[in-house]
């Protein structure tokens, strides 16, 4: 097995006595004080996450002539400079190779932010689809990333890094200077709260991390809390809710697919639109505090209809919540489901997303 | 009152023919934030080391096994709404249930506190 990679903040996590575990080829902090306490801190104050494991690619070239325009399920050329867009890299069958965000840094420059475990393969695939492969560079190793997320994140960021952050709208970013280095501050995240993703040189991340943690409004949060926070919003996790066998249409994410442009996998999606999806994503709430978990069976009227792709106990709703893939006739809102694993059984109901609607995301 | 432990990290405290059962502080710590406890039904009879109850944390779901045979006489109803009591005091307010008709002879299959401490060191 390949050796686990450590982020530039590894020693800081050990000093904070974080519980560390492998994630996507990296050794990452799962929790510090406790998953629920960290989750609550993010919903009420501001939580700081080490996200250095995610991959970043820099594209320098002509978006259309060099072929980036046709790589993803969305148009890159129509993203205004200073904005970012979420979408997918698909295989021929329409399955999701990765979900990612493209940041339009300049007319001829874009940064592509991808999942950790898929970084190397994404790089190979994207390059192979470019007319000019040399336009793409993997800058993951030299790029650090931390996320500050929570209702207090704006006032904290403004206080530490200046008033230019005050008015960054959702899914916009600014290029600025942090601790004397070039940085990108983006109003994006994975928690459902007002928040920022900060990109800066990897060798500056520890300094930024320590500076922010000195602020009493900020506490570190691990991947455990991050998973609860994203699931309460119904955000997909690659490897659970999305993979190469699941199309964006099946996953209920057609909003992020532009069928009026060309991209690899489009023919398969057209066929799926025509014939209907064999499986559909559902969100469901459990009647009790029991937590559904990945791979638990989903039954409807006594028959197996699907599988849980993500599940947890929701601290905000005080019940189990989950996402799953089911046969279309069990996907309608209000449908009663039974979730089963060995002798564990729980009753649930199909609901709308997000599960949690009280977040400060767009405030 | 003497307290005994199982290898699966349950504890049992005897008071005559009645026994209080829970999971150890060590187990609670390992599980992390506890979010759900499935309490046994009052009147249910269990044999030693059979599944008695179930517990879930943010990380995992696990069974709780009966440290001794007996009949469930009482359950800690407070855990229905506040399973976090197990994190706050796994060996005090976070007890799971009380068993009656317990046979002390079964305690030889368990560890006392000192032996359990040694056992934990070896894990």
Residue B27 counted as domain residue: yes
Chain A nearest-CA residue for B32: A34
Instruction: Give the whole-angstrom CA distance, residue A202 versus residue A183.
Output: 11
Is B113 a member of any domain? no
- At residue A350, the pLDDT reads 98
Q: What residue in B sits closest to A225 (Cα-Cα)?
A: B58
Nearest to A34 among B32, B56, B83 (CB): B32
Determine, yes or no, domain membership for B56: yes
Domain count, chain B: 1
Band the pLDDT of B2: cuts 50, 70, 90: confident
Dihedral angle computed from the Cα positions of residues B42, B45, B47 and B51, in that order, rounded to the nearest 10 degrees: -50
Contact B58 A35 (CB under 8 A): yes
Residues A62-75 pLDDT 10s: 999 999 999 999 99
pLDDT tens sequence across A297-355: 999 999 999 999 999 999 999 999 999 999 999 999 999 999 999 989 999 999 999 99
In the A/B pair of chains, how many CB contacts fall below 8 A? 37
Q: Which of A81, A363, A49 is nearest to A198 (CA)?
A: A49
- What is the arithmetic mean of pLDDT over A173-191? 97
What domain range includes position B86? 3-108
Of B33, B54, B61, the CB nearest to A34: B33
CA-to-CA distance for B79 and B38, rounded, in angstroms?
9
Any A CB within 8 A of B61 CB:
yes
The CA-based angle A6-A12-A18, given to 5 degrees, is: 85
| Residue A280: predicted pLDDT | 97
Find the CB nearest A36 among B33, B54, B61. Answer: B33
Q: Is the pLDDT of residue A77 over 60?
A: yes
Tell me the C-alpha distance between A327 and A330, whole Å.
6
Quote the DSSP letter at residue B121. Answer: H
Residues of B in contact with A31 (CB under 8 A): 32
Query: Could you tell me if residue B36 is inside a domain?
Result: yes
Q: Which domains does chain A have, with CATH numbers?
A: 5-54+141-233 (3.30.1360.120), 56-138 (3.30.70.1400), 279-351 (2.40.30.110)
**A26-59 pLDDT per residue, tens:** 999 999 999 999 999 999 999 999 999 999 999 9
A290 touches B at CB < 8 Å: yes
Q: Is the ipTM above a cut-off of 0.85?
A: yes
Residue B116 included in any domain? no
Q: Would residue B117 count as lying in a domain?
A: no
A363 band by pLDDT with thresholds 50, 70 and 90: confident
| Residue-level pLDDT at A38 | 98
pLDDT > 90? residue A362: no
- Does residue B1 have a pLDDT over 80? no
Task: Note whether A289 contacts B58, CB cutoff 8 Å.
Answer: no
Q: Is residue B119 part of a domain?
A: no
B62 touches chain A (CB under 8 A): no
Residue B36 and residue A312: Cβ atoms within 8 Å?
Answer: no
* Shortest Cα distance, chain A CAs vs residue B64, angstroms: 13
- pLDDT digits 0-9 by tens, B30-53: 999 999 999 999 999 999 999 999
Q: What is the pLDDT of residue B17?
A: 83
| Average pLDDT across chain A, whole number | 97
Report the length, in residues, of chain B.
Answer: 123
- Kindly report the CATH number assigned to the domain that includes residue B73: 2.40.50.100
Find all residues with CB under 8 Å of A116, minimum gap 6, and list them. A23, A24, A25, A26, A53, A54, A55
Q: What is the pLDDT of residues A100-155, one digit of tens each?
A: 999 999 999 999 999 999 999 999 999 999 999 999 999 999 999 999 999 999 99
Higher pLDDT, residue A152 or A2: A152
Q: How confident is the model at residue A1 (pLDDT cuts 50, 70, 90)?
A: low
Question: Is A2's pLDDT higher than 90?
Answer: no
How much is the pLDDT for B123?
A: 87
Neighbouring C-beta atoms of residue A317, cutoff 10 Å? 15
Whether residue B123 lies inside any domain: the answer is no
């Amino acid at each position: 097995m390949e050796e686990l990679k450590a982020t530039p903040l590894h020693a800081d996590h050990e000093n904070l006595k974080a519980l560390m575990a492998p994630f996507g080829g990296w050794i990452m902090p799962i929790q510090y004080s406790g998953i629920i306490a960290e989750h609550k801190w993010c919903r009420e104050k501001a939580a700081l996450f080490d996200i250095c494991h995610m991959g970043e690619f820099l594209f320098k070239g002509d978006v259309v002539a060099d072929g980036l325009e046709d790589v993803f399920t969305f148009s890159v050329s129509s993203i205004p400079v200073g904005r970012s867009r979420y979408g997918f890299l698909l295989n021929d069958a329409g399955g999701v190779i990765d979900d990612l965000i493209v940041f339009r840094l300049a007319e001829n420059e874009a940064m592509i932010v991808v999942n950790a475990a898929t970084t190397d393969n994404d790089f190979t695939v994207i390059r192979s689809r470019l007319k000019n492969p040399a336009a793409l560079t993997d800058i993951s190793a030299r790029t650090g990333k931390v996320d500050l997320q929570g209702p207090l994140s704006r006032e904290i960021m403004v206080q530490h890094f200046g008033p230019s952050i005050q008015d960054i709208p959702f899914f916009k970013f600014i290029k600025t200077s942090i601790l004397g280095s070039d940085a990108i501050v983006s109003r994006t995240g994975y928690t459902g709260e007002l928040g920022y993703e900060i990109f800066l040189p990897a060798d500056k991340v520890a300094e930024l991390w320590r500076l922010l943690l000195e602020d009493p409004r900020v506490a570190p949060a691990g991947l455990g809390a991050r998973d609860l926070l994203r699931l309460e919003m119904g955000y997909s996790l690659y490897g659970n809710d999305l993979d190469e066998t699941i199309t964006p249409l099946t996953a209920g994410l057609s909003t992020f697919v532009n069928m009026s442009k060309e991209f690899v996998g489009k023919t398969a999606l057209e066929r799926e639109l025509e014939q209907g999806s064999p499986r559909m994503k559902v969100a469901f709430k459990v009647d009790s505090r029991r937590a559904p978990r990945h791979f638990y069976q989903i039954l409807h009227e006594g028959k197996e209809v699907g599988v849980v792709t993500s599940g947890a106990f929701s601290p905000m709703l005080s019940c189990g919540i989950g996402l799953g893939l089911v046969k279309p006739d069990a996907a309608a809102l209000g449908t009663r489901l039974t979730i089963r694993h060995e002798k564990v059984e729980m009753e649930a109901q199909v609901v709308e997303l997000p599960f949690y609607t009280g977040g400060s995301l767009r405030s | 009152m003497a307290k005994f432990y199982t290898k699966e990290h349950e504890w049992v405290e005897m008071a005559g023919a009645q026994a209080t059962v829970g999971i150890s502080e060590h187990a609670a710590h390992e599980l992390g934030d506890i979010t759900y406890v499935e309490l046994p039904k009052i009147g249910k009879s269990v044999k030693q080391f059979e599944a008695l109850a179930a517990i879930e944390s943010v990380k995992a779901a696990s069974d709780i096994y009966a440290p001794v045979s007996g009949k469930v006489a009482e359950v800690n109803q407070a855990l229905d709404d506040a399973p976090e009591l197990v994190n706050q005091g796994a060996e005090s307010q976070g007890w799971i249930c009380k068993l009656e008709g317990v046979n002390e002879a079964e305690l030889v299959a368990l560890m006392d506190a000192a032996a359990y401490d040694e056992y934990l060191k070896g894990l």
